[in-house]
Amino acid sequence: MSSGKKCKHCGSSEIEVDPARGDAVCTNCGSVLEDSIIVADIEFQETTHGGASVIGQFVSAESKGGASGFGRAFNSGVGQESRDVTLRKAKDGITALCQQLRLNQQCIDIACNFFKLALMRHLTIGRPAAHTQAACVYMMCRTEGTAHLLIDISDALQICCYQLGRTYFKLSKALCINIPPTEVSGFNLY
């Protein structure tokens, strides 16, 4: 297949472009003129329910080779790559907070699972990431019965205790997490 380009080495216009390999080669001198051609065409196909889905793959500017699924992510509005980044950042934040509070790996894993649940149900949208992560750590503390209070987590992150409490309350209710009451010196605190 020949394109309208000219070889910059020999001046020949006999250029073979192979979309499958993603390269352009001069057939006269053999020089590879381009080796990572990206097709910018977008194609759609109709789904069984009358909707539209994208055919092809999405290549991120940050990716190094490979691609992530574009069709499914395009329809739902949330890319898997974005979700992975969010989960990784949340795990880093939760790990740092749990280490500050001297909590073990099992506690970190439980808090991360609470965060995954919140992310799957779109409960993280519109909330500061630190508040959501801290609320997940506090939910873990309450369900596992550790000695940490909400104010301990609030102090560790230097965030408002009341805002953190509101986030914790909304997440625990939305996720239907059964939180046992806290007992301090014979009094029950909710």
Backbone angles phi, psi at 128, to 5 degrees: -60, 135
The percent of residues in the chain predicted with pLDDT above 90, rounded, is 45
What is the per-residue pLDDT across 107-135, written as a single tens digit (0 to 9) for each?
Answer: 999 999 999 999 999 999 999 999 999 99
Per-residue tokens: 130:
């630190």
Q: How many CA atoms lie within 13 A of 50 on its CB side?
A: 0
What is the per-residue pLDDT across 12-63, written as a single tens digit (0 to 9) for each?
Answer: 888 888 776 667 788 877 777 777 666 556 666 777 777 777 666 555 444 4
What is the per-residue pLDDT across 65-77, written as a single tens digit (0 to 9) for each?
Answer: 444 444 444 444 4
What is the per-residue pLDDT across 135-157, written as a single tens digit (0 to 9) for each?
Answer: 999 999 999 999 999 999 999 99
Alpha carbon distance 100, 17 (integer Å): 57
pLDDT of 93 higher than 80: yes
Between 182 and 10, name the one with better pLDDT.
Answer: 10
Alpha carbon distance 154, 18 (integer Å): 58
Alpha carbon distance 59, 140 (integer Å): 37
pLDDT computed for residue 160 by the predictor: 94
